[in-house]
Chain A
Amino acid sequence: MGQFLQQLINGIQIGSIYALIALGYTMVYGIVRLINFAHADIFMFGAYMGFFLAPVMAKVFGGAFIPTIIAAMLITGLLGFIMEKLAYRPLRYKSRLSALITALGVSIFLENFCAMDFVLFGVHFVFGPTYRKFPDLIVAKNIPIPGNLGLNISNVLLLDVGVSVILMVLLFWFVNKTLIGKQMRAVAFDKPTASLMGINIDVVISTAFIVGPALAGAGGILYGTTYGMLASPFLGIWPGLKAFIAAVLGGIGNIPGAVLGAYIMGISEAFATSVNSNLGYGMAFAILIGILLIRPSGLLGKFMPEKV
């Protein structure tokens, strides 16, 4: 029983991080029908921003976690904005395949750019393909759980879940209650009619490319805090892939679906990993194959015929 609960809790923790990444995939897909493969690398970029900024933030603000996560979100949001403007906007009315290939290109570019060792304005920037210790943004502590189930819960776990839930609640409020949120949903449904309403489609698309990456940036900070190290600029690939599968599982384009898919993914992965540490990776693909066979539109997705 204790073991079961422990894996469930671990799954919720990693699922929270997947959820923050999956939301970006699904928001962008919902609006421009593009799988932004570079999204995983934005997540990585956010984690590295934490690595570079945390010491500065600790010096300036005293505490590091809140200023670091906000700064990382701003930077990844900006990165998303620039990415859309430079790479995707010129291809907006071209074939969807061109945009997809461009997304792969942007991904490869970001990974390899960050693996470079370069000097800019006299500052030595090294993301570098080496392991790095992620700064301790909070002091990790175990929280004693009464009873004898042997549960191991840390304040980092509570932080991961808490921050994710706060950001998700903010996102739901943003999408459902604000004018720009309603505009986003209208644009996702029907672009030409949305423009007749006076909606500037470019602004809405840019917003999706800021909000999604900002959430991924927050996910990167939580990832670094949880694992305590950054492996390399290629570290986004696996969490990104799993989050993408989570978004497909929930129904790509569907925001609550992405959250649901991410928690299912995190929990099933935690259980699989407890059996064999390599099984966690296999779980992602087992879920992907299963969903494609049984319900390709995802758990909450609706099958919508392509409009002509």
Chain B
Amino acid sequence: MLLEVRNIDVFYGSIRALKNVSFNVEKGEIVSIIGANGAGKSTTLRAISGILRATSGSIIYNGHDITHTPPHLIARMGISQVPEGRGIFGNLTVQENLDVALSSVKDKKTAGPNQDKVFSLFPRLKERRRQISGTLSGGEQQMLAVGRGLMQNNPFMLLDEPSMGLSPVLTEEIFGVIVEINRLGKTVLLVEQNAFKALSIANRGYVLETGSVVLAGTAAELRDNPDVKKAYLGG
């Protein structure tokens, strides 16, 4: 098992945002976590990447307990998170955003080929590499955020709402890239409000409701589940 989350609780001040959440991800899978706004989806990813701390329970990655590991070391251990709202460094150029992502990479020799891979997935970024990234369009910023994650060359990627604020065409494109990334051998944990799209590319899924996992199953099972259909798939 690549990732195992066991009974974690996460608090924002005195508010319990995650209650006893458990799930796992196998190597090579795409796993989607779906749920409404505020259900705790982003919180779950942030707890894995170390930005938030689980107050109880544990998170095991590749056999290592990373529950209390600081985020920069988790990034160096092999987990890349593409944060919600893109989180690009708006004061840096496109190229500098990609360069900074290499902070987690020990073997800098992989940087060149990796960057070629990113530019072949997102030719727009290559055109705009000298542009200050804060001036990119929303779709381009999302591409940069994913590209930056790919620069880290990590086997496991956490994607937080990659379709947020994107047009249907761009959403389609981003999901195509996620499938492509997975085909290249990366494991993907995807958090999405767009449950339909998320379940269409995932192997398995979990449903979060007010901080707890209420349903789990294969993507097909969840798609056919009447409750999921009613709540997240528009009937």
Which chain A residues have a beta carbon within 8 Å of chain B's beta carbons?
Answer: 179, 182-183, 185-186, 188-190, 192-201
Contact = CB atoms under 8 A, between A and B. Distances in A.
A190 B72 contact: no
A190 B85 CA distance: 12
B82 to A, nearest CB: 9
Interface residues of B, number: 27
A17 B183 CA distance: 58
Nearest to B99: A182
B183 to A, nearest CB: 24
A186 B72 contact: no
* Across the A-B interface, the 3 shortest Cβ-Cβ residue pairs: A198-B104, A198-B75, A195-B71
A188 B91 CA distance: 9
A198 B70 CA distance: 10
Contacts of A190: 87, 89
Contacts of B209: none
B50 A195 contact: yes
A182 B96 CA distance: 7
Nearest to A196: B81
A201 B72 CA distance: 8
B91 A198 contact: no
B92 interface: yes
A186 B92 contact: yes
Contacts of B103: 179, 183, 197-199
A192 B88 CA distance: 11
Interface in B113-156: 148, 152
A179 B87 contact: no
A199 B50 CA distance: 13
Give the residue among A185, A188, A193, A196 with the most B Cβ atoms within 10 A.
A196
Contacts of B152: 197-198
Nearest to B81: A196
B49 interface: yes
A45 B50 CA distance: 40
B234 to A, nearest CB: 31
B75 A197 contact: yes
Given A185-B89, A185-B91, A189-B89, A198 B72 contact: yes
Contacts of B96: 182, 185
Interface in B174-197: none
Contact of B72 (A179, A182, A185, A200): A200
Interface in B72-104: 72, 75-76, 80-81, 83, 87-92, 96, 99-104
B50 A197 contact: no
Contacts of A198: 72, 75-76, 101-105, 152
Contacts of B105: 198
Contact of B100 (A186, A192, A200, A201): A186
Contacts of B49: 196
B214 interface: no
Contact of A197 (B70, B90, B91, B101): B101
A195 B51 CA distance: 8
A190 B92 CA distance: 11
Nearest to B102: A179
A182 B100 contact: yes
B23 to A, nearest CB: 21
Given A179-B102, A182-B96, A195 B70 contact: yes
B194 to A, nearest CB: 22
Given A182-B92, A185-B89, A193 B83 contact: yes
A180 B178 CA distance: 30
27 contacts: A179-B103, A182-B100, A183-B100, A185-B89, A185-B92, A186-B92, A186-B100, A188-B91, A189-B90, A192-B71, A193-B87, A193-B88, A194-B100, A195-B51, A196-B51, A196-B80, A196-B81, A196-B83, A197-B72, A197-B75, A197-B148, A197-B152, A198-B75, A198-B103, A198-B104, A198-B152, A199-B103
Nearest to A200: B72
Nearest to A195: B71
Contacts of A183: 100, 103
Contact of A199 (B51, B83, B100): B100
Contacts of B101: 197-198
A194 B49 CA distance: 12
B164 to A, nearest CB: 15
Contact of A189 (B70, B81, B92): B92
A193 B158 CA distance: 13
A112 B203 CA distance: 67
Interface string B34-65: 00000000000000011100000000000000
Contacts of A179: 99-100, 102-103
Interface in B1-48: none
Give the residue among A182, A185, A193, A199 with the most B Cβ atoms within 10 A.
A193
A186 B89 contact: yes
Contacts of A192: 51, 71, 83, 87
Contacts of A189: 89-92
